[in-house]
Structure 1
């Protein structure tokens, strides 16, 4: 049991996070709205930082703030959902791939919204992004389930 918590679960989470980055890239190819979020947002951040540098203003604070935002969004989309669901599935012995994929997808879609404090009804483009993030999270949760989730919580006690 301890070997599972020390080796298998962290390994499965890392592989799932790597798969999540792959699926996020695939979602940006499939959806223009997700591509705009990922590529367009990062491109705008670079333009702002380099624009500040060209005009003689120190871009360091803006660059640090931009990288912090990108890191928090990456954490909310790829890292936190799979970790939270992995820990929850192990503690509550949730072995269903559908439950693990669905919960990871739900968290991947909702955590960025909570971070950005979206307090209004989302626009159609935002709904497309939310759907894409849900699918990325669901695929990430499925990869975790394939590696470690089918045996969540260890062996069940015999009746």
Structure 2
């Protein structure tokens, strides 16, 4: 029970921090991701300032934009690692490859599902999807290092045959 109350939440928080760090590294390595992260915020700020300058209330636009950003952040950083962590605990999946791979897969697919991408992604979008996969895989791997190796608690010792 102590595992569920202390170790797993701690591991999830550290893993999410590692995911943010991996996203920062991805934005340094890839100009498309840097443009997505930095350019998107820059365009949002300028759009809000333009609205305020032309006499419109930027509040509803800012609220909608930050709601979408929050949902995307949740779909990239929080939901994948939590879903895989709970599943690994319930099904006693102790493999680092499974935890990293599933977390990466969810981190790449959940934002696409949220945005309802119904067309073939462009090469730049594929690069962003690949980066999201790697960020999710890094998040899952850090969780596995801290708490995933003991997923499901202690296994029962195999029964020995009487002699």
2:38 is matched with 39
Structure 1: distance between partners of 2:45 and 2:114: 22
Segments of structure 1 that go 5 or more residues without pairing to the other structure are none
**Rg comparison, structure with higher value:** 2
Query: 2:82 is paired with a residue of what secondary structure?
Result: helix
**1:119 correspondence with 2:114:** no
* Count of matched residue positions in the alignment of Structure 1 and Structure 2: 158
1:114 Cα deviation from its structure 2 partner: 0.2
Where does residue 86 of structure 2 map in the other structure? 87
What is the Cα-based RMSD across aligned positions, in Å? 0.6
Q: Secondary structure at the match of 1:109?
A: helix
Shift of 1:41: 1.1
Q: Distance in 2 between matches of 1:42 and 1:75?
A: 17
Counterpart position of 2:142: 143
What is the alpha-carbon distance in structure 2 between the residues aligned to residue 51 and residue 92 of structure 1? 52
Distance in 2 (CA, whole Å) between partners of 1:147 and 1:26 is 21
Please give the secondary structure, in 2, of the residue aligned with 1:94.
coil
Q: Report runs of 4+ in structure 1 exceeding 3 Å deviation.
A: none
Superposition deviation, residue 157 in structure 1 = 1.6
- Aligned-partner Cα distance in 2 for 1:46–1:103: 35
Structure 2: runs of 5 or more not aligned: 159-163
